[in-house]
Amino acid sequence: MDITVAAEEAGTVVGIVGSLDTVTAPDAQAVLDQAIADGATTLVVDCQELAYISSAGLRILLVAAKKVRPLGGQVRMCNLSPMVRDVFDISGFTAILPVFPSRAEALTG
């Protein structure tokens, strides 16, 4: 798994490449925590190159959302592949985290 972080005017974009599972979730959690500690309140998680997400990956997204919500922020998802979208739909996460078709749309909210 590779993670990129890019601060943009409308939010911080976190790109995840590969799998977000039990093995990689702690590293992703550390990246999200650091972005929040650095002042990010709107986190856009770009899943364009995310091949797989497990319940451990979903959990860290939920934790990040709970951390930024009191700050007036939000975790927004974008570019979900059909497989990742299915996981979000089945788990009910599409009702918890807003999902956008593109990075640009996620940034504008």
Task: Quote the CA–CA distance of 77 and 23 in Å, as a whole number.
Answer: 21
Residue 75 phi/psi, 5-degree rounding, is: -100, 125
Which residue has 């890019």 as its token pair?
Answer: 6
* pTM of structure: 0.96
Residue with tokens 């990689």: 24
Residues 2-61 have pLDDT tens digits of 999 999 999 999 999 999 999 999 999 999 999 999 999 999 999 999 999 999 999 999
pLDDT, one tens digit per residue, over 23-34 is: 999 999 999 999
Q: Are strands 42-46 and 11-20 parallel, antiparallel or unpaired?
A: parallel
Cβ–Cβ under 8 Å, residues 57 and 28: yes
Which domains, ranges and CATH numbers included, belong to the chain? 2-108 (3.30.750.24)
